[in-house]
Amino acid sequence: MAIYSFWVYDRHCNCIYQREYSPLTASTSTSASATTTSQTGSTPRLSQSNSALNNSSVQRFQQSGADNSDTTISNNTSLGSSSVNNKIQELLNNGSINAINDNNVSKLLFGTLFSLRKISISLTSAPASETTDDEVFSSHTSLNKFNELKSFQTLNYKVHFYETLTGLKFLVVTDPTIRDLQLELRNIYENHYLNYVVRNQLCQVEFKEHEVISNDKFIQSVDAFWSGLPEFIS
Amino acid sequence: MPIFSIYITSKSGSLLYQKDFKVLNNPITKQNSNDYLVIASTLHGVHAISAKLTPAASAKNYLSSKLPTNSNKTGLRMITTSQFKIYMNQTVTGLEIILFTSPDMGQTKISGIYDKIYQLYCDYVLKNPFYQLEMPIRCKLFDDKLLSVVTTTNV
């Protein structure tokens, strides 16, 4: 299993879409300080299945699981063997959708990314004292001016990151051995997000707090896209 | 494959040593001394947080990696941006060596450089009778030797 989860954050830092193919840990461990926990290999993990099952969107997805997996199979003709298809289907059905958008994991992930993004931008620009607030603002909106964060990784996982000019952030958590998936994230924005969210008149463009993308077309096409990649099962 | 700069932070996240090297086309601009402290402690915090984000299914991935894994099994290792890469390594005692390199630097080469830098730290900082633990490193010999290690890789 090489692609673990996929996240979309809007420009107000809210998680508007979260799709998990394999659970991220909700580590509630209170043990020890930062340096010691990062050295010990095992951290206590809490299963997320309980919280996931309570969510209505998950239940709804599982009901419509049959139609969804059909589309997946038809898009995966290249994979051929039915055992692979069964495995993909199982992963798609077992995962959760929009179950932990406001969870600590989601916030930690965003916080990590936000700090790293800030470091990569500030290190390549002049020190803050020499630029005014106006300049900082305009440099964020101007094209290709700043150094963009691409990915970060540990020995266990890798997070790929793509940010649009409008401040939407696309994230995918994968195996550390996987090639750069920035182009794929861009593809999702251009071909899936734009088609099924922005051009959908019934779907809002600006998300309020606790509002998420619950658009079945978007969910299905993104699932089909990720499961169609050769990296989805490694 | 040049190294742009090096930060060394203590186990509590305070910046012990920071040096920018003179390299052609260096994308990293000079910052305030305060900014260096902020960046170092942010990286230290993010290093610890990223260990908590490990997906359950990938928790044992480090066993199959070919890299030396006696330390920093779960923390942040590498950050890729479009203009530079940041490599982080933590020793078993909590000391973090952070290297800012060009994007074409590979993981295997960097682990050799870590070993050399850590060796220098042991020889010229820890064995210095005037050095106090957890305090900023001001040892001329360490400076000189570090510069020669970095210059050989930068050339």
8-state DSSP, B69 = -
CA A138 – CA A200 distance, rounded (Å)? 30
A41 touching B (Cβ < 8 Å)? yes
Using CA coordinates, name the residue in chain B closest to A22: B57
| Domain encompassing residue B48 | 3-154
Q: Of the candidates A146, A175, A183, A139, which has an alpha carbon nearest to the alpha carbon of residue A159?
A: A175
CA B23 – CA A152 distance, rounded (Å)? 24
pLDDT beneath 70, residues of chain A: 1, 23-81, 126-145, 234
Contact at CB, B39 and A112, closer than 8 angstroms: no
Where are chain A's structural domains?
3-25+45-115+148-228
Token pair 């989805």 is found at: A232
The whole-number pLDDT of residue B125 equals 96
The whole-number pLDDT of residue A225 equals 94
- Domain count for chain B: 1
The whole-number pLDDT of residue B25 equals 86
The whole-number pLDDT of residue A161 equals 95
The whole-number pLDDT of residue A75 equals 45
Q: What share of chain B is helix, strand, coil (3-state, %, to 5)?
A: 40, 20, 40
The whole-number pLDDT of residue A106 equals 92
Mutate to test the interface with A, among B53, B88, B97 (most CBs of A within 10 A): B53
The whole-number pLDDT of residue B146 equals 96
The whole-number pLDDT of residue A130 equals 56
- The residue ranking higher by pLDDT, B124 or A58, is B124
Token pair 């199959």 is found at: B64
The whole-number pLDDT of residue A63 equals 43
**Which CATH number does the domain housing residue B26 bear?**
3.30.450.70
* The CATH fold of domain A3-25+45-115+148-228: Beta-Lactamase (3.30.450)
- The residue ranking higher by pLDDT, A233 or B21, is B21
8-state DSSP, A101 = T
The whole-number pLDDT of residue A114 equals 93
Contact at CB, A127 and B30, closer than 8 angstroms: yes
> Does the pLDDT value for residue B65 go beyond 80?
no
Contact at CB, A156 and B58, closer than 8 angstroms: yes
> Does the pLDDT value for residue B76 go beyond 60?
yes
For A35-44, A67-76, B35-44, B73-82, which range has the lowest pLDDT when averaged over its residues?
A: A35-44
A 80-119 near B (Cβ less than 8 A): 105, 108-109, 111-112, 115-116, 118-119
* Mean pLDDT across chain A: 74
CA A96 – CA A83 distance, rounded (Å)? 22
CB A73 within 8 A of CB A81: no
What the block records as the tokens of A86 is 């069964």
Q: Which of B39, B57, B77 sits opposite A154 (nearest CB)?
A: B77
